[in-house]
């Protein structure tokens, strides 16, 4: 939840990232409704565009061409995105269930989850077949098969338009490998077309060598291929199905009015529940029944956008009335297409070019999102305000921390510690306290939000704060929570605090720490933090203790700062951001237990970057260090963003604060100064124990690596 000048009072939840919802999110970014918190829920960070799927299968488009980046789109719309699959909606409580997290409340919700081509009633299909929808799963399976197939044998079940397009696209993509592609239908192929259009489709199949098998009932799918009721076995290595696309089964459990499993809606796209809308292929327009087609989903978007705003603000709804006929452009394998409308059908390469332009223009709407102008400064401001603001938004997480230089200068003015029970020195990850019954470590860490999901942000902040305890080889024991919420209604406060406390309790309980208190307040933006106490039976590990020749082990990849900065600016790929969140969410408890018996010094890599925290070890240990840049693990997409010049807010301070760092200039070198949130542990271990320690970490699920060693020479040298 980023800064919002007006109080939040309503929750809008968009279930599914279908074409209608994608367009609604784009419109919302252009014209948001103040006071509304938007959530979009989708199983994946991207949503493939069905209109370009045959072209992707044929090899005309890349996966990036095909994908709508929902993470980027959600950021543009000011929405949070939850990656998960909805399994239930409680209409009475007005909550949405996504496994693995608490119910998500809504005031108004909309459903656009498309349809599925899974065939659970067909024996063997779940084990040996690949449904054409959901598209993201199909695309991944097809890419893998296309890369390895030597003598391709493919069977497509269902000879409608979608099945025909896929069969021809596959034949075209594999044309140099003599593929054998069979298209199977229980009745007559392309029965929805007139004679002319059907003849063109059949001839196009024949031109590509696709064998059409009609009036053939499928009995089962096996590892050998497709077995028909008459006993015939059609050999196939890749079996897909587009026969009988149907709504997702959970929609029938909502108690709403349906038609053949689809949610029945009227002109306003409202279901039989006034708080639930539906659009796209999962909706049945009772007032104007039409076949499933993307054109209707696209044209529903402006009406849905208007009506969602109206429902949330007390306005009037308006209706959507689709045209009776529409132009159908069908891909025919190569760069050729058929057009059918009003009983007329023609085909040719110019039609494919036309379709290509239409599809690319549609996708360009999501790839080139308008850059929203920064608010204008007052006509008169103090000198330096514009320079301090810069041209990029303030980062969240560790990217928003005070620079190392300013912090160290401030700490030098604090009174010197003169207590026998305090054993730590300034710069250690946590305060070290010696008591009568052992050792304690104490730390505090608070983060400005960089994601609009309070639950995810709380998880990351908890793992981040615990890093100081784990870095000292201690066990977390007690925690207090501090939360600042942006202005919102009492009901949204209740909802948000429920998410925050659940996430905090889950992470802390797993870590072995009890939450014993906390503090909350209302402010300008969401901030969350933790104060922690840990215990250790022996003296905790500090920054001091490393020796020249010792190996440096890193347990997590770096690059989260540049990825979060890139995500805020709409430059990072959604899939890369999702993977970064997954890595950042990984607790370091097991890694700490593996490293503690062998580590001579240890820290966690956070706001000052890898170079800054390594410099702390070198300073405390009286050593220098040498890094192998090629061995340092980085998050996917981080180097690409660094190459583009994307930097976190604190990057310049981190770079300027460590003058004795040398090495080959470039994006990987720049990432040494990238601030990390919930980063990995950096441990100094005897060289002869490095490999077995890394092996143990990898076995425990950490992408650990030996990245260099300590030296006698002063400074840090990267090579």
pLDDT tens sequence across 147-190: 999 999 999 999 999 999 999 999 999 999 999 999 999 999 99
Say if residue 3's pLDDT is above 50: no
pLDDT tens for 400-417 read 666 666 666 665 666 666
Q: Which of 282, 395, 398, 618 is catalytic?
A: 398
CB atoms within 10 A of CB 472: 29
CB atoms within 10 A of CB 374: 11
Map out the domains of the chain with their CATH numbers: 10-114+247-323 (3.50.50.60), 116-245+327-368 (3.50.50.100), 429-541 (3.30.1330.10), 542-719 (3.90.650.10)
- Measured over the CA atoms of residue 410, residue 416, residue 419 and residue 423, the dihedral's sign is positive
C-alpha dihedral, 152 to 156 to 161 to 162, nearest 10°? -80
Residue 2's pLDDT is 44
Question: In this structure, what DSSP letter does residue 159 have?
Answer: -
Residue 290's pLDDT is 86
C-alpha dihedral, 379 to 384 to 385 to 386, nearest 10°? 80
pLDDT tens for 637-663 read 999 999 999 999 889 998 988 878 999
Tell me the CA distances in angstroms from 21 to 14, 52, 72, 532, one per residue in order: 7, 18, 14, 42
Residue 404's pLDDT is 61
- What rounded mean pLDDT belongs to the chain? 91
| Distance, C-alpha 399 to centroid of its chain | 20
Average pLDDT value for residue range 133-143: 85
Token pair, residue 490, equals: 């009492």
Beta bridge partners of 116: 246
Residue 390's pLDDT is 65
Of 679, 673, 671, 634, nearest in space to 652 by CA: 673
398 flagged as catalytic: yes
Q: Can you tell me the distance from the alpha carbon of 636 to that of 263, in angstroms, rounded to the nearest whole number?
A: 39
Cβ neighbours for 671, distance < 8 A, ≥ 6 positions apart: 558, 559, 562, 609, 610, 632, 634, 638, 639, 642
Residue pair 519/468 in contact by the 8 Å Cβ criterion: no
Say if residue 373's pLDDT is above 60: no
Token pair, residue 605, equals: 């890599």
Say if residue 96's pLDDT is above 90: yes
C-alpha dihedral, 613 to 667 to 716 to 554, nearest 10°? 50
Of 125, 173, 492, 107, nearest in space to 313 by CA: 107
Q: Can you tell me the distance from the alpha carbon of 190 to that of 158, in angstroms, rounded to the nearest whole number?
A: 9
Q: Show the DSSP H helices in 195-346 as ranges.
A: 195-207, 294-313
pLDDT tens for 69-83 read 999 999 999 999 999
Residue 659's pLDDT is 78
Calculate Rg over the CA atoms of the chain: 29
């Amino acid at each position: 939840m980023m800064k919002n000048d007006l109080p939040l009072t309503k929750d809008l939840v968009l279930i599914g990232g279908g074409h209608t919802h994608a367009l609604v999110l784009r419109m919302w970014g252009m014209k948001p409704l103040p006071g509304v918190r938007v959530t979009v829920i989708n199983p994946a960070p991207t949503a493939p565009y069905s209109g370009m799927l045959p072209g992707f299968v044929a090899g005309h488009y890349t996966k990036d061409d095909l994908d709508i980046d929902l993470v980027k789109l959600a950021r543009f719309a000011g929405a949070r995105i939850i990656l998960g699959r909805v399994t239930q909606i409680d209409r009475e409580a007005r909550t949405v269930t996504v496994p693995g997290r608490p119910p998500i409340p809504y005031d108004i919700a909309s459903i656009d989850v498309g349809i599925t081509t899974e065939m659970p009633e067909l024996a063997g299909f779940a084990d040996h077949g690949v449904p054409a929808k959901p598209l993201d799963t199909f695309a991944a399976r097809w890419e893998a098969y296309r890369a390895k197939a030597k003598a391709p044998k493919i069977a497509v079940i269902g000879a409608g338009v979608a099945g025909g397009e896929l069969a021809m696209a596959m034949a075209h993509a594999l044309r140099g490998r003599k593929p054998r592609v069979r298209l199977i239908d229980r009745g007559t192929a392309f029965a929805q077309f007139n004679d002319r259009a059907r003849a063109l489709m059949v001839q196009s199949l024949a031109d590509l060598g696709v064998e059409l098998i009609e009036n053939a009932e499928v009995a089962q799918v096996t590892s050998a291929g497709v077995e028909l009721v008459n006993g015939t076995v059609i050999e196939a290595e890749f079996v897909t199905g587009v026969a009988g696309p149907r709504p997702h089964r959970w929609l029938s459990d909502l108690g709403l009015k349906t038609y053949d499993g689809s949610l029945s809606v009227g002109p306003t796209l409202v279901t039989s529940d006034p708080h639930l809308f539906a659009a796209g292929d999962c909706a049945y327009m009772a007032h104007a029944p039409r076949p499933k087609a993307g054109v209707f989903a696209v044209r529903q978007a402006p009406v849905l956008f208007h009506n969602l705003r109206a429902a949330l603000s007390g306005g009037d709804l308006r209706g959507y009335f689709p045209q009776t006929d529409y132009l159908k452009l069908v891909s025919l394998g190569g760069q050729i297409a058929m057009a059918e409308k009003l009983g007329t059908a023609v085909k040719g390469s110019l039609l494919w070019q036309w379709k290509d332009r239409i599809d690319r223009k549609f996708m360009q709407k999501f790839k080139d999102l308008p850059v929203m102008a920064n608010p204008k400064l007052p006509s008169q401001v103090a000198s330096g305000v514009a320079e301090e603001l810069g041209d990029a938004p303030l980062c969240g997480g560790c990217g928003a921390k005070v620079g190392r230089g300013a912090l160290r200068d401030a700490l030098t003015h604090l009174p010197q510690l003169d207590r026998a029970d305090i054993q730590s020195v300034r710069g250690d990850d946590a305060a070290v306290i010696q008591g009568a019954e052992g050792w304690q470590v104490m730390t505090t860490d608070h983060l400005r939000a960089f994601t609009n999901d309070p639950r995810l942000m709380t998880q990351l902040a908890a793992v981040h704060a615990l890093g100081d305890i784990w870095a000292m080889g201690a066990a977390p024991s007690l925690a207090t929570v501090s939360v600042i919420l942006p202005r919102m209604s009492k009901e949204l406060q209740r909802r948000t605090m429920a998410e925050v406390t659940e996430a905090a309790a889950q992470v802390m309980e797993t870590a072995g720490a009890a939450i014993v208190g906390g503090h909350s307040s209302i402010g300008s933006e969401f901030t969350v933090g933790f104060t922690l106490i840990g215990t250790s039976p022996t003296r905790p590990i500090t920054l001091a203790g490393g020796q020249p020749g010792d190996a440096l082990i890193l347990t997590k990849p770096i690059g989260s700062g540049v990825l979060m900065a890139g995500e805020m600016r709409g430059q990072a790929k959604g899939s890369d951001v999702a993977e970064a969140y997954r890595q950042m969410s990984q607790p370091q408890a097991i890694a700490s237990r593996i490293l503690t018996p062998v580590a001579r010094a240890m820290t966690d890599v956070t706001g000052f970057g890898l170079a800054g925290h390594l410099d702390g070890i070198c300073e405390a240990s009286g050593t220098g260090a040498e890094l192998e840049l090629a061995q340092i693990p980085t998050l996917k997409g981080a180097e690409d963003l660094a190459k583009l010049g994307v930097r976190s807010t604190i990057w310049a301070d981190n770079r300027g604060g460590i003058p004795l760092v040398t090495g080959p200039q470039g994006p990987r070198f720049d990432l040494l100064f990238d601030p990390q949130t919930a980063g990995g542990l950096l441990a100094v271990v005897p060289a002869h124990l490095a490999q077995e320690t890394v092996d143990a970490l990898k076995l425990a699920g950490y992408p650990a690596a030996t990245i260099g060693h300590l030296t006698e020479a002063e400074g840090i040298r990267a090579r």
